Structure 1
Amino acid sequence: MNADNLDTEELDIENEDEGYPLNEYQLTTTPNDFNILTIVSFIESKVFKIPSFQRHYVWDLKRASKLIESLLIGLPIPQIFLYESGRNEFLVIDGQQRLMTIYYFQKGRFPRKEKRAELREIFDEHGYIPEDIMENDDLFQKFNLKLDGIVEGRENRFNGKNYKTLEDFKTSLDLATIRNMVVKPVSGDEENGAMFEIFNRLNSGGINLGGQEIRMSLYHSEFLRALLDMNKDERWRKILGKSTPDLRLNDVEAILRVFAMASYLENYKATVNGFINNFANHAKSFNQSKIEYLRSIWKHFLDGCENLDISNFRTSSNRFSIMLFESVFYASTKNAILENKLNTRPINEDFINSLKANEKFKSHIYGKTTLKDNVIGRLTCAEEILGG
């Protein structure tokens, strides 16, 4: 076996796991019919939460108007999927566009197309749109229904109407109901794996969401925010061979993964995705001191990599090898993290080349690479070689 054939794995680790094993959980799905007034109040009070990985509002005025018309005339609309993540807390899995259309119409304001990315950031920060922002004409226009078509010589009776001018139909709209399907585990989902996979399977935003895109919302924490800054380090960008951060956050996932391997390995079970999810959830408990310490570990490790050629972490096909990188990171930082110190072990090209050529190491990077024996095998092998 040639060392040049070390790995064909790319930065995107989705091909490692078939998905989180939902068979470990028993889920329930309960229908709830909430009326429009209740839905708007739930959005404003943050009972309904729209995860930040969801795309920003994309409907035009005509499509939004048709939804409101459907509610006014009693036409059923597609159901909303929610995940009950806590007491009085529901994450929107599918239905963001419908919910935001209702919210905007009740407020009488429609977001300007060129300002929607900016509004999404505001919504993420507050959980709703503050009144002063809603009244800003640079960001919003009036939400008057735009409904085409003439029936029996008369214009659509709702065309041009807004929430305040619906007159008798205003009450009908307020009391109109939408079916909401609430999904939750029967027993406590301590690892949140079911929640992760439910989002992965049910969200219909038009693209397959990356694992880290989902984690940034489901396991939101100051540590995950800190990873975004760590991801900008020029030395890390050099190792990856990519000057700009990945829009799908695969590079951020790689950093989260190596920290999980170095400090949380005893909790590894069967899949990398499940393991990273558990660590991301665990990291919500990190205080600022812990986060700053891990920032320093990352910096010290990259200091040691500064004089290495970027080809050290690449395969013959010029692909970045996450398995090699995490093994080197583990060997260098494991003891330091265990002792809460900054005495990371120095690394050099001789060590990396020895690791690549080691038969025991190579036996753990082929086949089912996510098996616990293979994961622990390659990490401990790297630690033994670096330790002399």
Structure 2
Amino acid sequence: MEQSEELIEQNWYQDDSEDDIGYSFREYDVTSTPNDFNTKTIIDFIESGLFKIPGFQRNYVWDIKRASKLIESIIIGLPIPQVFLYEEGRNSYLVIDGQQRLLTLYFFTKMRFPKKEKRFELRQIFDENGKFPDEVLHNDEFFDDFKLKLNETGQTEKNKLHGLNYATLGEFKSGFDMRTVRNIMIKQNFPTDDDSAMFEIFNRLNSGGVVLKAQEIRTSLYHSKFYNNLYSINMYENWRVLLDQTQPDIHMKDVEILLRGFAMLLDSENYKPSMTRFLNQFSKKSKSFNAESLPYFQQLFEAFCNYIVSINPRAFISNTGKFSITVFESIFVAICQDSARNSNLIIKETTAEKIENLKNNPDFINSTQSNTAGKANVENRLKLAKEILS
């Protein structure tokens, strides 16, 4: 079931990620230090902000049965997978692997379990507050009571922990509080100019579990005010119209498309493969963007969306009915690059006919069908779009 849902989630856009050339071979100097913390200490670390739960995992995905099994394992003394944390700075650790487990511990001690249909909204609340405020935790609109669900339908022998919550654990409570979980603290010593080792660790640690997409990883490593701006833009009504998707993508592909558009708009002259590395480097640059420029980016993009919707709301939808990332970024740069350079909101005019001419141009099509992340193809797409749309 999870596999089919994954396919559905990816099916709305044309995926060119396999054409990405990927990283060249690199060596790293990374320090890994093991620490055993009991569950009570871990909860304190989460609440104090010492352990930071990344944005993509604030959208909790476990169901009550899986969460209950983890709590049961801790109570009865079975080992659970270790947690990996990246040392961002003094007394500041980003959770690399183990977010779902840590949040399960947190929710269990709070005796509240997030409702599935409210989890995206809860992630936004966490982003704004750095935690789940008490008034939200105790709001039945967002949470149910967290009682262990360990009995299967038709099971004759009742599990003695079934139906208990943190407050009613009785003799098991102190054991649960004092049970330790192995934490691996990771620090990148070299290279010092980027966080590429952490990106690789995210990829490799999660390859055997819930597979993380590139933007989910990027969101945690490069969180910034610019990224907050992207989240806001991503909810803009006419952007959702152009995507032909009413709801945000659970793996943040729509946010990545926005990131890629702005990276090409503002930094295309520095592009070189791979696309993944380019977006990582641009994300790191964006952390130092002037906060005063961010409202302008949003205004420019909204003006662009409004204009495209007015001439052809399906401008970026391919013949297969999927959103074309390469068509979007080419048109966005062609229409908005002069505006961005001059910091104005004057959208360069084009026509629906010219957009169709671009999409049907043989050279443009060739540059979108294979090796789409190659430097020559990227440059050719942007060049053709500027020529044909003007």
Tell me the TM-score normalized by structure 1. Answer: 0.76
Q: Deviations over 1:188-224 (max 9, x none)?
A: 4534343334323323795433333333333333333
Task: Tell me, in whole angstroms, the C-alpha distance in 2 between the residues paired with 1:303 and 1:125.
Answer: 28
Q: How does 1:350-361 map to 2 (within 5 A)?
A: 350-356=353-359, 358=361, 360-361=363-364
Q: How does 1:264-279 map to 2 (within 5 A)?
A: 264-279=267-282
**Amino acid paired to 2:374:** L
Task: Tell me, in whole angstroms, the C-alpha distance in 2 between the residues paired with 1:257 and 1:35.
Answer: 42
Q: Deviations over 1:346-373 (max 9, x none)?
A: 1223433443455554453343111122
* 2:55 paired residue number: 52
Task: Tell me, in whole angstroms, the C-alpha distance in 2 between the residues paired with 1:182 and 1:372.
Answer: 37
Task: Tell me, in whole angstroms, the C-alpha distance in 2 between the residues paired with 1:354 and 1:160.
Answer: 64
**Amino acid paired to 2:55:** S
Residue 291 (structure 1) aligned with residue 297 (structure 2):
no
Shift of the 248–176 alpha-carbon distance from structure 1 to 2, 3 Å rule, reads closer
**Amino acid paired to 1:15:** E
- Checking the alignment, whether the CA contact within 8 Å between 1:192 and 1:278 is kept in structure 2 is no
Q: Which moved more, 1:42-51 or 1:200-209?
A: 200-209
**Amino acid paired to 1:67:** S
Shift of the 318–299 alpha-carbon distance from structure 1 to 2, 3 Å rule, reads same
Task: Tell me, in whole angstroms, the C-alpha distance in 2 between the residues paired with 1:183 and 1:230.
Answer: 33
Of 70, 92, 101 in structure 2, the residue corresponding to residue 89 of structure 1 is 92
Task: Tell me, in whole angstroms, the C-alpha distance in 1 between the residues paired with 2:68 and 2:304.
Answer: 54
**Amino acid paired to 1:68:** I
* 1:4 paired residue number: none
Residue 17 (structure 1) aligned with residue 3 (structure 2):
no
Percent of paired sites with the same residue: 40
Task: Tell me, in whole angstroms, the C-alpha distance in 1 between the residues paired with 2:356 and 2:68.
Answer: 61
Q: Deviations over 1:145-178 (max 9, x none)?
A: 999xxxxxxx989x979679878994x7666532
Q: Which moved more, 1:58-67 or 1:371-380?
A: 58-67
* 1:151 paired residue number: none
Residue 337 (structure 1) aligned with residue 323 (structure 2):
no
* 1:43 paired residue number: 46
Quote the offset at 1:314 in angstroms.
4.0
Of 252, 255, 258 in structure 2, the residue corresponding to residue 255 of structure 1 is 258
Quote the offset at 1:287 in angstroms.
3.9
Shift of the 12–224 alpha-carbon distance from structure 1 to 2, 3 Å rule, reads farther
Task: Tell me, in whole angstroms, the C-alpha distance in 2 between the residues paired with 1:342 and 1:59.
Answer: 49
Q: Which moved more, 1:60-69 or 1:368-377?
A: 60-69
Residue 200 (structure 1) aligned with residue 211 (structure 2):
no
Residue 66 (structure 1) aligned with residue 69 (structure 2):
no
Task: Tell me, in whole angstroms, the C-alpha distance in 2 between the residues paired with 1:180 and 1:252.
Answer: 31
**Amino acid paired to 1:69:** I
Task: Tell me, in whole angstroms, the C-alpha distance in 2 between the residues paired with 1:385 and 1:143.
Answer: 61
Residue 111 (structure 1) aligned with residue 117 (structure 2):
no
**Amino acid paired to 2:98:** G
Q: Which moved more, 1:188-197 or 1:284-293?
A: 188-197
- Checking the alignment, whether the CA contact within 8 Å between 2:52 and 2:95 is kept in structure 1 is yes
Quote the offset at 1:134 in angstroms.
6.2
Secondary structure of the structure 2 residue equivalent to 1:184? strand
Secondary structure of the structure 1 residue equivalent to 2:87? strand
Shift of the 17–85 alpha-carbon distance from structure 1 to 2, 3 Å rule, reads farther
- Checking the alignment, whether the CA contact within 8 Å between 2:115 and 2:144 is kept in structure 1 is no
Of 348, 361, 370 in structure 1, the residue corresponding to residue 373 of structure 2 is 370
User: Between Structure 1 and Structure 2, whose CA radius of gyration is higher?
Assistant: 1
Shift of the 112–319 alpha-carbon distance from structure 1 to 2, 3 Å rule, reads closer
Q: How does 1:87-236 map to 2 (within 5 A)?
A: 87-103=90-106, 107=109, 109-112=110-113, 114=115, 117=119, 123-130=126-133, 170=174, 176-188=179-191, 190-203=193-206, 206-236=209-239
* 1:382 paired residue number: 385
Task: Tell me, in whole angstroms, the C-alpha distance in 2 between the residues paired with 1:208 and 1:18.
Answer: 20
Task: Tell me, in whole angstroms, the C-alpha distance in 1 between the residues paired with 2:215 and 2:356.
Answer: 31
- Checking the alignment, whether the CA contact within 8 Å between 2:13 and 2:322 is kept in structure 1 is yes
**Amino acid paired to 2:303:** H
Provide the aligned length of Structure 1 versus Structure 2.
367
Quote the offset at 1:382 in angstroms.
2.5
Shift of the 237–135 alpha-carbon distance from structure 1 to 2, 3 Å rule, reads closer
Q: Deviations over 1:53-92 (max 9, x none)?
A: 1242644575254233245xxx543211222233322222
* 1:3 paired residue number: none
Shift of the 191–386 alpha-carbon distance from structure 1 to 2, 3 Å rule, reads farther
Task: Tell me, in whole angstroms, the C-alpha distance in 2 between the residues paired with 1:328 and 1:253.
Answer: 17
Quote the offset at 1:298 in angstroms.
1.2
